[in-house]
Amino acid sequence: MSILVVGSVAFDALQTPFGKVDRCIGGSATYFSVASSFFTEVDLVAVVGDDFTDEHLAVFKGRNVNLDGLERVPGEKTFFWSGEYGFDLNVAKTRDTQLNVFAGFRPKLHQRHRSPDVLFLANIQPELQMEVLEQCRRPRLVALDTMNLWIATAKEALTRIISKVDLVVINEAEVRQFTEEANLVKGARRILALGPKTLVVKRGEYGVMMITKDAVFAAPAYPLENVFDPTGAGDTFAGGLLGYLASRSEITDRELRRGIVFGGVLASFTVEKFSLDRLLEITLADVQERYQDFRALTHFDDFDV
């Protein structure tokens, strides 16, 4: 089974209380691809400038990431984001965004990308997410991520694409912003009423809640003594979740829960170092070991009173 992701490949400048880097590799589709490639083959569709060299492409090397859909536009510069975090690592402050080549991104899928098993529409304009979906033969599972900007500026288009997907990955604050409902469970049910079968709500250091018509699943985040840089945690989480699901023959409540835990485990590695540095060091065995730690973290017995 394979997964297709459409999103950004970027350069980031990052500052956290623990250090800074002036230029490192970032982008939603980058984190997503590397994370999901632990479980499945990934087709990456994105655009970069010619400042994104073969050396930078090395992050994908030796992984199950197919780069046929990664367009490199001569004479253009790659999408650049500069962000800063204070001690509250849940909140990023954007210092600079330079869309560069990404400003004209209108993804045209190759013929061979039009029948993905799982499609992930990373956080890009909702209109582009719709264009991508319309180019595909109906995948087994379609998921999207979004952000506060599109809720504020493109809510109608966002509502349309949400109504077409199976699974939405979204921040807690975005659920409240989108639905204007303070209660998270009620807000989540309103989004489900638009069409998706599954809502996965990211709560930063507090973990994840999944809400479907029939069930609610809540998982804490893996508690870390050293959180270095939260950039990419959400995209890594989505990559782990969707990559895991793409590797399964059926997408059930049971598999969704496992996928959420794998996503959380992968995200917990990402935040331990800048950029993709930690994610690139680990093996599937490391991921499986932390999955077991996660079981110990959350386990409690039935009562006997």
Q: Which positions lie near a second copy, rule CB under 8 A?
A: 17, 39, 87-88, 182-186, 189, 203, 205-207, 209, 215-221, 223-227, 244, 247, 254, 257-258, 260-262, 288, 291-292, 295-303, 305
Q: How far is the CB of 208 from a second copy (least distance, A)?
A: 9
Q: How far is the CB of 205 from a second copy (least distance, A)?
A: 8
**Residue 137 or 296 having the CB closest to a second copy:** 296
Q: How far is the CB of 92 from a second copy (least distance, A)?
A: 16
Q: How far is the CB of 171 from a second copy (least distance, A)?
A: 14
**Residue 55 or 88 having the CB closest to a second copy:** 88
**Residue 23 or 176 having the CB closest to a second copy:** 176
Q: How far is the CB of 141 from a second copy (least distance, A)?
A: 17
Q: How far is the CB of 185 from a second copy (least distance, A)?
A: 5
Q: How far is the CB of 206 from a second copy (least distance, A)?
A: 4
**Residue 7 or 243 having the CB closest to a second copy:** 243
Rounded CA gap, 70 and 289, in Å? 33
Q: Which two tokens stand for residue 226?
A: 């050293």
**Residue 77 or 189 having the CB closest to a second copy:** 189
**Residue 164 or 258 having the CB closest to a second copy:** 258
Closest alpha carbon to 279 in 41, 32, 114, 9: 32
**Residue 127 or 205 having the CB closest to a second copy:** 205
What secondary structure does DSSP assign to the chain, as a single string?
-EEEEE---EEEEEEETTEEEEEEEE-HHHHHHHHHTTTSEEEEEEEEETTS-HHHHGGGTTTTEE-TTEEEETT----EEEEEE-S-TT-EEEEEEE-GGGGG------GGGSS-SEEEE-SS-HHHHHHHHHHS---SEEEEE--HHHHHH-HHHHHHHHTT-SEEEEEHHHHHHHHT-SSHHHHHHHHHTTS-SEEEEE-GGG-EEEEESS-EEEEPPPP-S-----TTHHHHHHHHHHHHHHTSS---HHHHHHHHHHHHHHHHHHTTSSTTTTTTT--HHHHHHHHHHHHHHH--PPP--
